[in-house]
Amino acid sequence: MTLSDQILATLCKIAPDVDPTSVDRARPLVDQLDLDSIDYLTFLAALGKEHTVAIREVDIPKLRTIDDLTHYIESHR
C-alpha cells in the first residue's frame, strides 16, 4: 500500500461515509467531500499519530489534498 493509499484509508476511518474510489487525490478534500473542521482536524491528528509526524499549526492551511499530505509526510518523517 502506498503512502497515498494509507492516507486515504485513514480518511475513510474518520469519515466512513466517504467512498474511497471517488476521491480525487489532487483536489482539496474539504470542498470535495464536504468535511467539516472537526473531521479535518481529527483526520490530521490521526495522520500525525500514525506516521509520527508533528504537523505544525502554521502548515495546516497548506495541507488541502491527499497529494499535499503525501508530500508533507514524506518530507517530515
Using CB under 8 A, pick the residue from 34, 62, 74, 77 that binds another protein: 34
Cell numbers at 29, concatenated: 478534500
Is position 49 an interface residue for another protein (rule: CB under 8 A)?
Answer: yes
Other beta carbons less than 10 A from residue 37's beta carbon? 8
Is position 45 an interface residue for another protein (rule: CB under 8 A)?
Answer: yes
Selected range binding another protein among 2-10, 20-28, 33-41, 65-73, rule: CB under 8 A = 33-41
Q: Give the separation between CA 34 and CA 57, rounded to whole angstroms.
A: 22
Q: For 17, phi and psi rounded to 5 degrees?
A: -85, -5
Is position 50 an interface residue for another protein (rule: CB under 8 A)?
Answer: no
